[in-house]
Amino acid sequence: MFFTQRSTVGLDIGSGYLKVVQLKDTKGGYELELFDMVPLPPELIVDGSIIDSLRLSDALKELARKARIKTKDVVISIAGHSSVIIKRVSLPDMSEEELSESIKFEAEQYIPFDIDDVNLDFQILGPKEEPGQMDVILVAVKKDIINEYLSVVKEAGFNCQIVDVNSFALENIYEVNYEIEPGKNIALINIGASTINMNILKGGISVFTRDSAVGSNLHTEVLQREFNLTFDVAERLKRNEPVENISPQDSLSVMDLASEEIIGEVNRSLEYFHEEINEVILSGGCALIKDFPKILAEKIGVETKIMQPFKNIRIPKKFDMSYIEEMAPIAAIAAGLALRRPGDR
Ligand SMILES: Nc1ncnc2c1ncn2[C@@H]1O[C@H](COP(=O)(O)OP(=O)(O)OP(=O)(O)O)[C@@H](O)[C@H]1O
Ligand SMILES: [Mg+2]
């Protein structure tokens, strides 16, 4: 009561855009304090690994200036097909303290990496039907990947308070904005430039997560190939900006090919989850590609909505509402990270 909780900044270090969101806790709920983003050249982060840490920390500094970030404390996240393992496991009943002490031993059999090479975390979900057992979500992130991100963030002048995981951030921001739907399977799907993060909620509880290394860079690549364009020009075309000698229809039909390939990957992930999905909530830059949500809904046969990460968050008048509404799906992960507070769980 004597301390006001420090507000932290959610920093989503994506391979295509750096995004920042800051939320203020007010009596009436959350209020948006900051939202901004800067694009990254495509060669800085590849397959979740930082290739050029110097230029990445410069880009972070540029974002800090542009967005006028005043807080040093940040929350970042790691996406990971190759560097993060999230598993739901059954362990003997024990307290949180006991599990903290034995986590390394308990986790060893479930983690395909050397246990000394990963940072481990867990969340106890509750007792199982079998007596003496409980459900636990195990999270293991490779230390070398965490350290790469931490050193870049530090170099840019920030203190990293929490390292989160994309699919959890997605779940957290969903919970702030949507009612739990008992008995329904809702797939939260975030498709960025190079990754898909998926988290399936069953009656509001996460039962399946999966990341894969595919994203909207595929749209850029097919445009580059088809029309012989540089990355930057193809990115402009992707956003429906006029490019000389190329008709919008031509570019759209080429982009549909990439959309189908991305959706093929979404489908493969969904196949690992053996139950029916009732609704998809789509976020990430790919949600902004013209017709992508429609094609996704058609191909997978599931009603698809675009995530509204700021639905229940008050947006002060100083913000450009139309820009925020347009870019909101891209802000989902950063907004989920901005919900975290040091010391929470
Ligand atoms: N109107 C738009 N504005 C910005 N990006 C867009 C737009 N439409 C499509 N995109 C695409 O969305 C992608 C960026 O989305 P997002 O910020 O979610 O990805 P990311 O987090 O940087 O990538 P990842 O998480 O896969 O590493 C880029 O490929 C970009 O071309
Ligand atoms: Mg992303």
Ligand nearest to the CA of 192: 1
pLDDT at 88: 87
Ligand 2 center to 201 CA (angstroms)? 20
Q: What is the mean pLDDT of each run of 10 residues along the chain (345 residues)?
A: 67 98 93 97 92 97 96 90 83 93 92 91 84 90 92 97 94 97 96 96 93 96 97 96 92 96 96 95 97 97 98 97 97 98 82
Q: How many CA atoms lie within 13 A of 318 on its CB side?
A: 5
DSSP secondary structure letters along 218-268: HHHHHHHHHHT--HHHHHHHHTT--BTTB-HHHHHHHHHHHHHHHHHHHHH
Ligand 1 center to 100 CA (angstroms)? 37
**Residue of 76, 288, 292, 333 best suited for mutating to test ligand 1, as the one with most atoms within 8 Å of CB:** 288
Ligand 2 center to 196 CA (angstroms)? 8
Ligand 1 atom showing the smallest separation from residue 39 Cα: 22
Q: Find the residues whose C-beta lies inside 6 A of ligand 1.
A: 14-17, 79, 192-195, 215-217, 235, 238-239, 284-286, 288-289, 330
Domains delineated in the chain: 1-83+143-178+311-345 (3.30.420.40), 180-307 (3.30.420.40)
